[in-house]
Amino acid sequence: MAAIRTVASSASGVGNAKPASSLRALLKGIVDYAGLFPPAGLSMKDAVRKYSEYLHARHCWMLGRFVVPAGRLREFGDALAALNSAPKVWRLSCLLGKDLPSDLAKIRNFQAECSSQILLDCLEAALPQSNLGPWLASLPSDFIRYVELPLHSGLPMLSTLHGAGVRAKIRAGGITPESIPASVGLAQFLGTCKHAGIAFKATAGLHHPLRCVKPLTYEPGSSHARMHGFLNLALGAALAYQHVPAELVESTLDLGAASLRFESDHIVCNGIKLSVDQLVETRTSFFTSFGSCSFEEPIADLEALNLL
């Protein structure tokens, strides 16, 4: 384990410098674009067009995979062909439904027919109601595999996932206030994942960098709630990965800008210095990405914080 360094707090906060390698280490490829899903709920044509634009945008280094259900792969292929975009590799993460054999057949057929421009290397699935062991064994091992777990009751299953070489997936929010988990629960999840030696991704409710009260959908009159921030979660994961006490991880999930300082070669979070190497290790081996139906909101908020 790399050493943890504590440093004096600074009043200069987030916007004190234009970070280079530290922010890139923390956020490179972190946003899996899920524009097909609520609250955006875009058509396939619009979601594919937007992802193509993001691939060529200034901050494309933050962009991860395009998330698509297995049952819509052919529709995706048609939309991409119609777009006639400039050559770029499209990395896909495919959501599996309840009919696993059928979805896997659709994926294999798609792989056999698609061009080298498309790399479908990741699968995501919900936890089955029974027969977890045999079901996990049926997930093909030539993919990166994520299984979504309920935050509390799913924790005992993490060791089983790890034994099968499968990663975890957790929801950090949703379109109702009740779907947003408490920080203590997220901190417990981070600690348990670290103890189990399992990597994870997050999804839902992570459009904004820092914990804040925002509308939960794009509809007029939408409910507001205190949403989790993706910077908070990424930094909390980095601390958990360095075996920082759980209470410090939990408080990091609620930090505001004044408690963070981004420098070119390190980040100071909650009085602890995290080096670029530690951030890269966290992202490579622990917190891999988060799904978001918006790529523009995270970018706009980071620009407002003077981080981009």
CATH code of residue 68: 3.20.20
Query: What single DSSP character describes residue 213?
Result: E
Which residues lie closer than 8 Å to 98 by C-beta, 6 or more apart? none
Give Cα separations from 39 to 36, 97, 141, 216, 240 (angstroms): 9, 20, 32, 8, 30
| Cα–Cα nearest to 144, from 119, 180, 172, 181 | 119
- Encode pLDDT of 209-218 as tens digits: 998 787 777 8
- Tell whether the model's pLDDT for residue 80 goes beyond 60: yes
The SS3 assignment for 18 reads coil
Q: What is the predicted pLDDT for the residue at 9?
A: 43
Quote the tokens at residue 271.
């009085």
In the structure encoding, which two tokens stand for residue 300, read together?
Answer: 């706009």
| H-assigned helices in 33-147 | 44-55, 73-83, 100-113, 132-137
Report the phi/psi class of residue 271: left, alpha or beta, with left for phi > 0 and alpha for psi in -120 to 50.
left
Tokens of 306: 């003077």
CB 253 within 8 Å of CB 228: yes
The two structure tokens encoding residue 84: 């006639």
Q: DSSP label at 129?
A: S
Mean pLDDT of the chain, nearest integer? 89
Cβ contact 209:168 at 8 Å = no
pLDDT band at 4 (very low <50, low <70, confident <90, very high): very low
Domains: count for the chain: 1
Residue 7 has pLDDT above 80, yes or no: no
Cα–Cα dist 107/10, whole Å: 50
pLDDT tens, 141-152? 999 999 999 988
- d(C-alpha 228, C-alpha 213), whole Å: 9
Report how far apart, in Å, the C-alpha atoms of 114 and of each of 59, 75, 263 are.
27, 12, 42
Edge-to-edge order in the sheet of strand 266-269: 5-6, 272-275, 266-269, 260-262
Q: Which pLDDT value is given to residue 178?
A: 85
pLDDT in tens, 107-117: 999 999 988 88
Cβ atoms of residues 204 and 171 within 8 Å: yes
pLDDT, mean of residues 183-196 = 94
Go through 106-129 and write b for each residue having 16 or more CB atoms within 10 A of its CB, e for each that does not.
Answer: bbeebeeebeeebebebbbbebee
Q: Is 22 exposed, middle or buried (0-12, 13-18, 19+ CB in 10 A)?
A: buried
Q: What count of other Cβ atoms lies within 10 Å of the Cβ of residue 44?
A: 17
Q: Among 12-21, 58-67, 245-254, which stretch is predicted with the lowest mean pLDDT?
A: 12-21
pLDDT exceeds cutoff 70 at 294: yes
* 91-135 pLDDT, tens digit each: 999 999 999 999 999 999 999 998 888 999 999 999 888 888 899
For residue 43, the tally of other CB atoms under 10 A from its CB is 12
pLDDT one-digit tens code per residue, 215-241 = 777 888 788 878 999 999 999 999 999
DSSP count for the chain of H helices, then E strands: 11, 14
71 DSSP 8-state letter: G
- pLDDT at res. 48: 96
Q: What is the pLDDT of residue 13?
A: 53
The residue range of the domain holding 71 is 5-304
